[in-house]
Amino acid sequence: MVQAVLETLGIAYTGAPMAASAIAMNKDISKRIMSSQGIPTADWKTYDSSRDHTIEHIMADFENNHLPSVPLIVKPADSGSTVGLSLVEEKDQLAEALRLAFDESNLVMVEDYIKGREVTIAVLDGHALPPVEIKPTHKLYDYTCKYTKGKSEYFCPADIDAAIVEKLSHDAVLFYNTIGCRGYGRVDFIVKPDGSYVCLELNTLPGMTELSLFPMAAKAAGISFDELLEKLCYLALE
């Protein structure tokens, strides 16, 4: 909404236009676009409480094998910062995870849990920056690990085979361009032990704090924080 107001007023702003942010925020639409572009992503199903998709209905789908088996990720399909997200490792945890997610949104996604290395690719002006690997102290890179200093370790450039980095970078830029991003963005992946990977989501307005991943990737590419901000401002003016 802020982007739309700024565009109406003719005010330049950094980052993605409103349409790209809206697409990226809706994880169901994002994953459909990933699949259409050949970008691997975890199996999923999305439910909408406004269409009478109740917890009982979802539990019945699970019992009838219409969902991936545990472990599962349950999360709101249109929110960020992992708020309302749960890792379901046992069947009896599913109902509570669904309740938690539905407290945040009408749209809830149930997704296959993929175990592997958390890797993110920052994209600056359509070009991939060095990969960052995240090693959280929790099983998941959750809200606490994202925003509490010392709860995660970060490695940049990540120690990953160059061929895998090339594929991640390709898919990150492809997804960034496909949904109409501009300026900058960040695409998150899980890299499995065998070197295959899945794409999780795209953040159209990555954080810019001392714990943020985008400035870390830029620094590894030889771009200082001041230079990064200046670059983003010039990109907005263009």
Which structural domain, as residue segments, surrounds residue 85? 44-112
Question: Tens digits of per-residue pLDDT, 93-131?
Answer: 999 999 999 999 999 999 999 999 999 999 999 999 999
126 conformational bin, left if phi > 0, alpha if psi -120 to 50, beta if neither: left
Residue 210 confidence (pLDDT): 67
Whether residues 88 and 74 share a domain: the answer is yes
Whether residues 84 and 155 share a domain: the answer is no
Whether residues 71 and 152 share a domain: the answer is no
- Number of neighbouring beta carbons within 10 Å of residue 96: 13
Instruction: Give φ, ψ of 135 to 5 degrees.
Output: -120, 95
pLDDT of the chain, 238 residues: tens digit per residue:
688 888 888 888 898 999 999 999 999 999 999 999 999 999 999 999 988 889 999 999 998 888 888 999 999 999 877 888 999 999 999 999 999 999 999 999 999 999 999 999 999 999 999 999 999 888 778 777 777 878 889 999 999 999 999 999 999 999 999 999 999 999 999 999 999 999 999 999 998 876 689 999 999 999 999 999 999 999 998 8
DSSP-derived 3-state class of residue 12? coil
As a whole number of Å, the CA-based R_g of the chain is 18
Whether residues 31 and 57 share a domain: the answer is no
Whether residues 226 and 122 share a domain: the answer is yes
| End position of a domain, from candidates 95, 112, 129 | 112
In contact, 15 and 7? CB cutoff 8 Å = no
| End position of a domain, from candidates 86, 112, 138 | 112
How many separate domains does the chain show? 2
What's the CA gap between 102 and 57, in Å, rounded?
13
CA 106 to chain centre: 19
Whether residues 130 and 173 share a domain: the answer is yes
Whether residues 164 and 76 share a domain: the answer is no
Whether residues 119 and 217 share a domain: the answer is yes
Whether residues 75 and 19 share a domain: the answer is no
Whether residues 217 and 143 share a domain: the answer is yes
* Half-sphere CA count of 39, side-chain side, radius 13 A: 26
Residue 80 confidence (pLDDT): 76
| End position of a domain, from candidates 66, 97, 112 | 112
**Tokens standing for 205?**
């307005």
pTM: 0.92
Q: Which residues contact 35 (CB under 8 A, 6 or more apart)?
A: 41
Residue 46 confidence (pLDDT): 96
Whether residues 37 and 69 share a domain: the answer is no
CATH code, domain with 77 = 3.30.1490.20
CATH code, domain with 8 = 3.30.470.20
Whether residues 136 and 71 share a domain: the answer is no
Q: DSSP code of 208?
A: -
Residue 169 confidence (pLDDT): 98
